[in-house]
Amino acid sequence: MQTEALFEAMARSIIEGDADAAAELARRAVEAGLDPLEAINEGFVRGIDHVGEEFSCENMFLPELVLAGEAMKAAVGVLEPEMAKAGTARQQHGTVVLAAAPGDIHDIGKSLVGTMLSASGFRVVDLGVDVPIAKVVDTAGEVDADIVGMSALLTTTMSGQREVVGALDEAGLRSKVKVMVGGAPATPEWAEEIGADAFGKDAIDAVAVARRLVGAEG
């Protein structure tokens, strides 16, 4: 398979949400001696970009977005070890710490945000669900985070989003750590009210917002 045809097949595997095909194409790229970083950027990222555009235009929907994210994860899982062997790495836009607010056990939306951020060149530290505020703040300091993303799916757990802003301030981290909030009850007005830097309405929007927060648009 010629290189450009391989890139096109890679993109198609993401668009079709075919994780098995994406992993197999990644292995083919390795066997062919293709630069794994080039395979990601010229092949698989093309697919995820297309999915993002279609999702934003409501031509694709959440189930398709989830499958595309899983396919991207499968491809990157094959190629990242090869990059480590070669001593190369993807350019990273920054580090994002993700967590669901204390008392909130909803994981799907947050995990999808993490997958899309990782696919788009961010280092993601996902702490999971029902995460104590202190753990979020400590981790943000330990990993030198650029962004903390706090999700809440319930109105009863939204207070955790406010608390993390204050806790980062008390820890002396607020000046260098941006806060992005999301989840069904969250709104841009809520983000402004609690002093967060941004609101992400869904996984695709969260990527665009995160890129803007770290000055990596385009």
Domains of the chain: residue spans and CATH? 3-86 (1.10.1240.10), 94-213 (3.40.50.280)
Whole-number pLDDT of residue 92? 82
Closest CA to 51 of 202, 181, 211: 202
pLDDT at 169: 97
Least confident of 17-31, 62-76, 166-180: 62-76
H-helix or E-strand spanning residue 62: helix 62-86
As given in the structure block, the two tokens for residue 16 are 């079709």
- pLDDT (tens digit, 9 = 90+) per residue, 30-69? 999 999 989 988 999 899 989 988 988 999 988 898 899 8
Name the residue type at position 106: H
Backbone φ, ψ for residue 92 (5° rounding)? -105, 135
Q: Bigger pLDDT: 120 or 194?
A: 194
> Which one has a higher pLDDT value, 16 or 56?
16
Q: What is the pLDDT of residue 212?
A: 96
> How does residue 12 score in pLDDT terms, banded at 50, 70 and 90?
very high
The chain-wide mean pLDDT, for the chain, equals 93
Give the type of residue at 12.
R
pLDDT of residue 33: 92
